[in-house]
Amino acid sequence: MNSVYASFGTTIFETMSRLAAERGAVNLGQGFPEDDGPRDILEAAARATLEGPNQYPPSRGLPELRQAVAAHYRAHQNEELDWQREVTITSGATEAIAAALLAFIEPGDEVVLFEPMYDAYLPMVRRAGGVARVVRLEAPHWRLERETVAAAFSAKTRVVVINTPHNPCAAVMSRAELEMLAELCRAHNAICVSDEVWEHVLFDGAEHVSMLEVMRERTLKIGSAGKMFSLTGWKVGFACSAPALMDAFAKAHQFLTFTTPPNLQRAVTYALSKPRSYFEEMSAAFQRSRDRLVGALEGEGFALLPARGAYFVSIDLVASGIAMSDEAFAKHAIEHGVATIPVSAFYANPNPPALVRLCSAKRDETLDRGAEALVRAKRAL
């Protein structure tokens, strides 16, 4: 086996979902909404499947979907994208990140990453031959500090991978943070791969700023229909960048998955026509779920970190009076009927803080049962 993959186990998401299923535990681990997205989008997919064609779409994606992606970002983020030259449809955001890294780096090039980070970044960087330069962000605000970020850049830096809103921290990067990063990217001739899959899941009036708006010429921005429409299993992603980056990206993508199922592409084209109110209501519903879970846990002495975007909240174990590692607590919690994600899975370096991530995108009754199980787990310590 390739040594990079040999050094990693099965993902924490797969592991925790399997344990939850085996034990019949409430699954607040892997991040997916309990309810599937809108019925009309599912019907659009069913119709598109039956009516066909179901043969290979163009490698960069169906023109109608690329036009819809460009129109969406024009309406929502005031971004002008040339759908023919600046948009490619991918089989999920993870594929887009892989294609970007494969396209942009040579073995030995340095890639700046921020930990905690989504678990796929590091193996993908290493498998592409990149050398990871990891900057640690600190709770509770997870801010990018210029000095530490600048120290991670060198003459070998080619790519910086960012994620806003952030999984698992639920932090949202400010325009000032993005501008600081942009300045460093320009000074070092680096490209920013900006994972913005949570761009529509924002709480308490938080505003999403796309890196594309801040640094148009050297950003590849990634979006996700799965996150926008609560259809995480569909794996339909969007990559957007200036033509030169997109040409390189499309070369990697054509040899990776080549294309993405046409029926899902047509259904997502339909979905992107949803009015602004759809996205506002979705965020509002996720915010209500977050508040319900946070309220239930805080009432029982758990300390939670602030969550401004993405449907995750983290328990701070130390502040909750739990003297255990996150992994040990996650194991203990599953015995008491609830699956969580130990946040150490998102760290490359030793001594991560003791946090466990909960997915709050669940029905009220599930959130209540999950919170009760966590309270039982805490009392049993």
In the complex, what is the shortest distance from the CB of residue 38 to ligand GLN, in angstroms, rounded to a whole number?
A: 20
d(CA 331, CA 335): 7
Among 229, 209, 238, 228, smallest CA distance to 81 is for: 238
- Contact letters (x/-) for ligand GLN, 17-56, by CB under 6 A? -------------xx-------------------------
In the complex, what is the shortest distance from the CB of residue 63 to ligand GLN, in angstroms, rounded to a whole number?
A: 29
Closer residue to ligand GLN in complex, CB, 31/116: 31
How is 156-220 classified by DSSP, letter by letter? TEEEEEEESS-TTT-----HHHHHHHHHHHHHHT-EEEEE-TTTT-B-TT-----HHHH-GGGEE
Closer residue to ligand GLN in complex, CB, 88/167: 167
- Which of 91, 167, 194, 241 is the binder for ligand GLN (CB under 6 A)? 167
In the complex, what is the shortest distance from the CB of residue 266 to ligand GLN, in angstroms, rounded to a whole number?
A: 24
d(CA 145, CA 177): 8
Checking 4-12 for CB contacts under 8 A at 24+ apart, the result is 4/123, 4/126, 4/127, 5/123, 5/127, 8/123, 11/119, 11/120, 11/345, 12/119, 12/341, 12/342, 12/345
- Contact letters (x/-) for ligand GLN, 228-267, by CB under 6 A? ----------------------------------------
In the complex, what is the shortest distance from the CB of residue 245 to ligand GLN, in angstroms, rounded to a whole number?
A: 24
Phi, psi of 355 (to 5 degrees): -130, 145
Closest residue to bound ligand GLN by CB:
31
Closer residue to ligand GLN in complex, CB, 302/312: 312
At residue 4, what is the residue type? V
In the complex, what is the shortest distance from the CB of residue 223 to ligand GLN, in angstroms, rounded to a whole number?
A: 14
In the complex, what is the shortest distance from the CB of residue 79 to ligand GLN, in angstroms, rounded to a whole number?
A: 24
Closer residue to ligand GLN in complex, CB, 101/215: 101
Is 15 a binding residue for ligand GLN by CB under 6 A? The answer is no
Between β-strands 191-195 and 219-224, what pairing exists: parallel, antiparallel or unpaired?
Answer: parallel
Is 116 a binding residue for ligand GLN by CB under 6 A? The answer is no
In the complex, what is the shortest distance from the CB of residue 352 to ligand GLN, in angstroms, rounded to a whole number?
A: 16
Phi, psi of 212 (to 5 degrees): -60, -35
d(CA 370, CA 20): 12
Closer residue to ligand GLN in complex, CB, 13/179: 13
How is 104-128 classified by DSSP, letter by letter? H--TT-EEEEEES--TTHHHHHHHT
Closer residue to ligand GLN in complex, CB, 60/235: 235
d(CA 375, CA 104): 47
In the complex, what is the shortest distance from the CB of residue 32 to ligand GLN, in angstroms, rounded to a whole number?
A: 7
Closer residue to ligand GLN in complex, CB, 116/261: 116
Output the CA–CA distances (angstroms, integers) from residue 100 to 160, 187, 273, 305, in the order listed: 11, 21, 27, 32
Phi, psi of 321 (to 5 degrees): 75, 25
Looking up tokens 């913005």 gives 196
Closer residue to ligand GLN in complex, CB, 30/366: 30
Closer residue to ligand GLN in complex, CB, 89/169: 169
Q: Is residue 312 within 8 Å of residue 228, measured between CB atoms?
A: no
In the complex, what is the shortest distance from the CB of residue 118 to ligand GLN, in angstroms, rounded to a whole number?
A: 7
Is 13 a binding residue for ligand GLN by CB under 6 A? The answer is yes
How many residues of this chain bind ligand GLN (CB under 6 A)? Answer: 5
Residues that bind ligand GLN (CB under 6 A): 11, 13, 30-31, 167
